[in-house]
């Protein structure tokens, strides 16, 4: 059984807690509208006790099958996400000691950290808002331009511009 829960109170100042674990695609149950399929995801996390709160850092690794927002084709995306953030008690907000704009701080008073939540959150943070099979995806014609993949990016942009100008002339 892979480790899923960490009791934060068991972490001492002397030594960070290190966990290597993995969650199956079933456990991750990512939203079907956004993710066609996913591999199991691996998590390595190190949690250290601070004077106030904790620091959590590590990485999340796995891969997803997504659907392109332009051509509707499925494609594979490997994720290798490094993260680091502090976990602070919510009292730190009200006492105004922490700037709420600090993105790498999470507020929680829970003693138990669910590592599945950590992994799911990191995946969501790294899901593209509009997934594209390729930055140069031309939409439904995508399949037809496969052979031009090696063409330089700038050349493609020039071509687009030229086509736009030509359309305007008509
Ligand atoms: Zn596409």
Per residue in 67-95, pLDDT (tens digit) is: 999 999 999 999 999 999 999 998 887 66
Burial of 61 by CB count in 10 Å (0-12 exposed, 13-18 middle, 19+ buried)?
Answer: middle
Nearest to 73 by CA among 36, 116, 30, 124: 36
More confident residue, 110 or 1: 110
Q: What is the rounded CA–CA span in Å between residue 4 and residue 121?
A: 14
pLDDT of residue 159: 73
Distance 74 CA to ligand 1 centre (A): 8
Distance 167 CA to ligand 1 centre (A): 23
pLDDT of residue 163: 77
Distance 54 CA to ligand 1 centre (A): 41
Q: Domain coordinates of the chain in residue numbers?
A: 5-133, 135-170
User: What are residue 107's DSSP bridge partners?
Assistant: 88
Average pLDDT across the chain, whole number:
86
Helix, strand, coil fractions of the chain, as percent rounded to 5: 30, 35, 35
pLDDT of residue 75: 95
Burial of 98 by CB count in 10 Å (0-12 exposed, 13-18 middle, 19+ buried)?
Answer: middle
Q: What is the rounded CA–CA span in Å between residue 140 and residue 123?
A: 28
Distance 65 CA to ligand 1 centre (A): 13
Residue-wise pLDDT tens digits, 8-50 = 999 988 899 999 999 999 999 999 888 999 999 999 999 999 9
Percent of the chain at pLDDT > 70 equals 83
For residues 141, 147, 149 and 154, what is the CA-based torsion angle, rounded to 10 degrees? Answer: -80
How does residue 164 score in pLDDT terms, banded at 50, 70 and 90? confident
Q: Has residue 140 got a pLDDT over 80? A: no
pLDDT of residue 90: 87
């Amino acid at each position: 059984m892979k480790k899923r829960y960490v009791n934060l109170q068991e972490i001492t100042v002397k030594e960070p807690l290190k966990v290597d674990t993995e969650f199956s695609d079933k456990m991750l149950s990512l939203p079907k509208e956004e993710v066609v399929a996913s591999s199991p995801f691996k998590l390595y996390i190190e949690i250290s006790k601070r004077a106030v709160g904790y620091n959590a850092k590590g990485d999340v690794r796995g891969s997803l099958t997504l659907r392109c927002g332009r051509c509707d084709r499925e494609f594979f995306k490997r994720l290798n996400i490094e993260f680091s953030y502090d976990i602070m008690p919510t009292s730190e907000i009200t006492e105004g000691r922490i700037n709420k704009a600090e993105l790498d701080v999470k507020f929680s008073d829970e003693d138990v950290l669910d590592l599945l939540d950590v992994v799911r959150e990191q995946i969501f943070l790294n899901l593209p808002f509009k997934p594209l099979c390729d930055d140069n995806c031309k939409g439904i014609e995508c399949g037809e331009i496969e052979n031009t993949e090696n063409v330089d990016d700038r050349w493609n942009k020039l071509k687009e511009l030229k086509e736009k100008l030509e359309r305007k002339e008509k």
